[in-house]
Structure 1
Amino acid sequence: MASPTIESLCCVSTNNAFSKDFLADFQSVPYNAVSIVASVLGITGAIYQVLPRTSVSRNSSAGRGFYKTRGRLIIRWLALADLMASLGILIRSASWLADNTFGSKPDDGLTGQFVCIITSGMIHYFYTATYCWTFLYALDVKLVMQDKRISHRVYHLVSWIVPVVLCLTGLLILYLPDLNCHSKAVNPYIRFLPNYLSSFIPIVVVMIGNPVLYCLAFSRVEKQIMSARGRYTQSERRVVDGLLKKFSLINVVFYLCWLPNIINGIVLWTTWDDLPKTFVLIIWYLMAILNPLQAVFNCVVYRSWDSDSTIPKPGVVIRKLWRKKSSQQLEDTATNIDDSADDQLQDGDESAGEGSLAAAMQVSHERTPLLSTHPNGSKNEKSQERITPTHTLKKYS
């Protein structure tokens, strides 16, 4: 699971009574077995989303294709962050199963602590990145509905740099100046609270911000459709209702996966002196299951494999790459021939120049089909199709 509780346990003293009560539960075979199974499922779901896809529909407009591409890119980066976070959980749980002496033997505690710190930091960072990508997906929906867009470079800066700042702030305060963070002399509000805030603030922002962004995105949908087409048909109503349902499910999935973490933090900070251990263990097992399964649930609610795309087979990918390479070679050959003809025109005499000019014209005529977008040289009329709000909404279907 992704929790600052485990990150604080990474610096537990081997002689601390707290380690005897709670660290043993994290080191237990059932807990780590559940974590490994959930992380493997999360990795599988994330890999499925990251796999490249090809469009099987040839009737979609250029604008709609552009919008779909934006949505898929955000979903893929979200899946990549999920993949790395689930991998961190898998490594940490496997290491705990392999070395059950962490927190019990002074001579082995330091190595176990560093493994715990590195993997927990990895999990913290990449799950924070998933919160950012989830928020930016909702923001992108709102901007597209307003016919606006932000460069994906800005999205990447936010999604990869903000987690760095939050993680470093929380973990450095927690682990410095020493790893004995559970000493009685330590002020928990100074040592622990910043790390908890760096973990929970992004979750709360998504829980509050995403429903608001989706509501704002759809608040004027009917009005925009009416202004664009002069009508609001049953078909368009079904599209809008379906997407409202989809975005509601996206919010439900996020709440399902991360609400236990918020509950865990509230319970720990309000009942620290008298923790309800049974309740806390139940919450920890829920987090161990639901946090990695975010990638699996995202496969369903985001539907990165929509109806007009499919995952190509390896043989199809190889054939397409070979055709692309062959086409590029033909174009380069034609360009070289044309350049040779131009050189002959410049260096030859008048009669030779006339002959070269004829050859160049012939070569140019032969090369034209290779360079034109369409065989008849005309522009694709569908690329000029008006992008209505319904087309824009279907980007996320």
Structure 2
Amino acid sequence: MASPRLGTFCCRTRDAATQLALGFQPRAFHALCLGSGALRLALGLLQLRPGRWPAGPGIASASPATSARVPASVRIVRAATACDLLGCLGIAVRSAVWLGFPSFVDDISAMNNTDVWPAVFCVGSALWIQLLYSACFWWWFCYAVDAYLVIQRSAGQSTILLYHLMTWGLAALLSVEGALMLYYPSMARCERGLEHAIPHYITTYLPLLLVLVGNPILFRKTVTAVASLLKGRQGIYTENERRMGAMIKTRFFKIMLVFIVCWFSNVINESLLFYLEMQPDINSSSLKQVRNAAKTTWFMMGILNPAQGFLLSLAFYGWTGCRLTLPGPSKEIQWDSMTTSATEGAPPSPGGPHEPGEGPAPKKDLPGGTHTSDEALSLVS
């Protein structure tokens, strides 16, 4: 799982709360992390096989002729999924080494040990996990930003470069800065007190808190803008428009539900451990319930953190994203069918049915945009 406590584990001296978490049934905990991470990797590799990845909800799989026109939102989801898979790989490798080479792990905390490789592996794996999951959080924040900007007609294909710069730049900056603050001046002194580790915890949880707080606000603004855009298509708000707006709202709700389920245990666990750190005697009988809660949420993190990618695939594609063979075309609401919703139920025209080659009336462009409303809505649907 992704926790700043993995970084403090590399310190030669550890505070009592960190030792409580890391020392509670460590073999069972790492076996749980290894199993959860390996399961996520197996499911992710099945999804990433050629021809398996759906290009996006309501979007056909990208072909060579259309790959250049893949929406930015689809690219963001793919980048976030790749970061999640690489982060799970780091968790699985770290847990496998812990289980397979216990003497190697014991050398990490040995005060007189001259072998630097245990410390290098510990710091490197902790940085790898933090960097990849931090980038994953930034990508999901960019997804919420992009959804809002697309509806407002302020985003396009060119913005994907800005998302890359923001995501990888901020993720690398925060991860390196947090590690430097934690391990300075040496790993033997990186636990001098609670204040010394606070910057490391802030840089780890800042992207997560941004997603948990910022994404619901952006999603709500997007849903409101979608309702206005749907009403502006024909000047009326039919049942099809209501269903489409509800579908987008439901998808955003599923995304946030997954984040809350998978990561809120981290926030609770860190709050409990911080509370324990501030107590004069962590082993006091009056703190037994707090210690048990911290241990419970610690194990929950090992299960739920690697499950994020799998649950998000369910939020986007349902069980379709988990099947070994993709089914036929989905029965999602088609945007083009909504352009005629205003005339549904109307009597036929005197001229009879349309002649062959005669299509529906052209879609109405909204002021201030270069794309039709169908194109804008398809990016977030």
TM-score by length of structure 2 reads 0.74
Q: Partner of 2:175 in structure 1?
A: 167
Residue 111 of structure 1 deviates from its aligned partner by 3.3
Q: RMSD of the alignment, in Å?
A: 3.3
Q: Partner of 2:379 in structure 1?
A: 395
Q: Partner of 2:253 in structure 1?
A: 248
Q: Partner of 2:126 in structure 1?
A: 120
Whether the 8 Å CA contact 1:36–1:94 is kept in 2: the answer is yes
Letter in 2 for 1:121: L
Letter in 2 for 1:103: D
TM-score by length of structure 1 reads 0.71
Residue by residue over 1:278-313, the C-alpha shift from the partner in whole angstroms, topping out at 9 and shown as x without a partner, is: 221111111111111111111111229989xx989x
Identity of aligned residues (%): 26
Letter in 2 for 1:127: Y
Whether the 8 Å CA contact 1:174–1:195 is kept in 2: the answer is yes
Distance 1:109 1:260 in 2: 35
Identify the structure with the greater helix proportion.
1
Q: Partner of 2:11 in structure 1?
A: 11
Relative distance call for 1:129 and 1:45 in structure 2 (3 A) is farther
Aligned residues: 317
Report whether the alignment pairs 1:103 with 2:101. no
Distance 1:172 1:311 in 2: 47
Distance 1:49 1:130 in 2: 18
Report whether the alignment pairs 1:219 with 2:219. no
Unaligned runs of 5+ in 1: 59-63, 313-380
Relative distance call for 1:391 and 1:21 in structure 2 (3 A) is closer
Q: Partner of 1:2 in structure 2?
A: 2
Moved more, 119-128 or 268-277: 268-277
Q: Partner of 1:210 in structure 2?
A: 215
Distance 1:229 1:67 in 2: 27
Whether the 8 Å CA contact 1:40–1:90 is kept in 2: the answer is yes
Residue 110 of structure 1 deviates from its aligned partner by 4.5
Whether the 8 Å CA contact 1:260–1:286 is kept in 2: the answer is yes
- Of 34, 37, 59, which aligns to 2:35? 37
Whether the 8 Å CA contact 1:135–1:206 is kept in 2: the answer is yes
Distance 1:145 1:66 in 2: 21
Residue by residue over 1:2-52, the C-alpha shift from the partner in whole angstroms, topping out at 9 and shown as x without a partner, is: 1111210111349x87786544336x3211111011111222343345445
Report whether the alignment pairs 1:82 with 2:72. no
Report whether the alignment pairs 1:289 with 2:288. no
Report whether the alignment pairs 1:178 with 2:186. yes
Report whether the alignment pairs 1:193 with 2:182. no
Residue 222 of structure 1 deviates from its aligned partner by 2.8
Relative distance call for 1:50 and 1:254 in structure 2 (3 A) is same
Whether the 8 Å CA contact 2:38–2:92 is kept in 1: the answer is yes
Q: Partner of 1:360 in structure 2?
A: none
Whether the 8 Å CA contact 2:17–2:274 is kept in 1: the answer is no
Q: Partner of 1:262 in structure 2?
A: 267
Distance 1:140 1:221 in 2: 13
Q: Partner of 1:233 in structure 2?
A: 238
Residue 227 of structure 1 deviates from its aligned partner by 2.2
Distance 1:305 1:388 in 2: 31
Whether the 8 Å CA contact 2:21–2:298 is kept in 1: the answer is no
Relative distance call for 1:144 and 1:21 in structure 2 (3 A) is closer
